[in-house]
Amino acid sequence: MNSRADQLKAFDRLLTIMDELRAQCPWDKKQTMKTLRHLTIEETYELGDAILDNDLNEVKKELGDVLLHIVFYAKIGSETNNFDIADVANEICDKLINRHPHIYGDVQVENEQDVQRNWENIKLKEGKKSVLEGVPNSLPALVKANRIQEKVAGVGFDWEKPEQVFEKLQEELAEFQEEIRMNNQQKMEEEFGDVLFSMVNYARFLNINPENSLELTNKKFIGRFQFLERRAKELGKTLKEMTLAEMDVYWEEAKNRAKAE
């Protein structure tokens, strides 16, 4: 791997290129934080895809794209004398040192749960009014549910055992089934949300990231369905012309092929 000197040299090269692009490129000169925002979100999702695909070469490329955006925002901040890349780096360094008193201070911890609790308590001492302030409003609902539960668990508001969470999930499922029986659309939606929230909570107790888990299932389904489409095309048929029984044969074939790989 590269030495620290080479790493710093590479970062300095990126900063220099960013300066040049901002001064000379018509497109780069026009960008603002707002115009970059949606592109940053897109790059972050692309990085997430590469991580789930375990494509480390692609992870490297996507990390570069995300790093470029960080440098870009810092460059724009420096032009208005609000902050530059050194301020950005020092801010996160100070935060990490302050929130890791078990490394940079004399606090003793026994496990990662202690670290999480300390982290959330320190944030409150820093002026946060609520533990949940750090959960962005614009997060996708599934990710947000997981982060909410992690945050409150960090200050001790949590179940003691996974079995308790599973019982709560069963309770929510029963309430959902009751609203289905009553055919109350609004209540059905509310109870379904409770079921999902409980599922996310149970996943957390099993050390399963629900967002990653669901996306892996999405990818698995897409792969199998596209295999089904290819098989139909080989037979000179469209999916609408196939029976469910025929489609099921090729669906099982797709599953078996995936297991063999």
Average pLDDT over residues 40-65: 95
CA angle 123, 155, 211 (to 5 degrees): 90
CA–CA distance, 223 with 232 (Å, rounded to integer):
14
Q: What is each CA distance from 233 to 128, 148, 230, 256, in whole angstroms? A: 58, 46, 5, 20
Per-residue pLDDT, 214:
94
Q: For residue range 104-121, list pLDDT tens digits in order.
A: 998 998 898 888 888 888
Per-residue pLDDT, 257:
82
Q: Which residue has the higher pLDDT, 138 or 18?
A: 18
Per-residue pLDDT, 71:
98
User: Any idea which of 95-104, 127-136, 243-252 has the lowest mean pLDDT?
Assistant: 127-136
SS3 state of residue 146: helix
Flag whether pLDDT at 144 surpasses 80: yes
Q: Comparing C-alpha atoms, which of 131, 165, 163 is closest to residue 150?
A: 131
Flag whether pLDDT at 258 surpasses 80: no
In the predicted model, what is the mean pLDDT of the chain?
Answer: 93
Q: For residue range 186-232, list pLDDT tens digits in order.
A: 999 999 999 999 999 999 999 999 999 999 999 999 999 999 999 88
Average pLDDT over residues 174-179: 96
The first and second tokens of residue 219, run together, are 């990818």
Q: What is the largest CA-CA distance in the chain?
A: 72
Average pLDDT over residues 219-247: 91
Amino acid at 18: M
Flag whether pLDDT at 134 surpasses 90: no
Per-residue pLDDT, 114:
87
Per-residue pLDDT, 118:
86
Residue 261: pLDDT band (50, 70, 90) is low
Average pLDDT over residues 71-89: 98
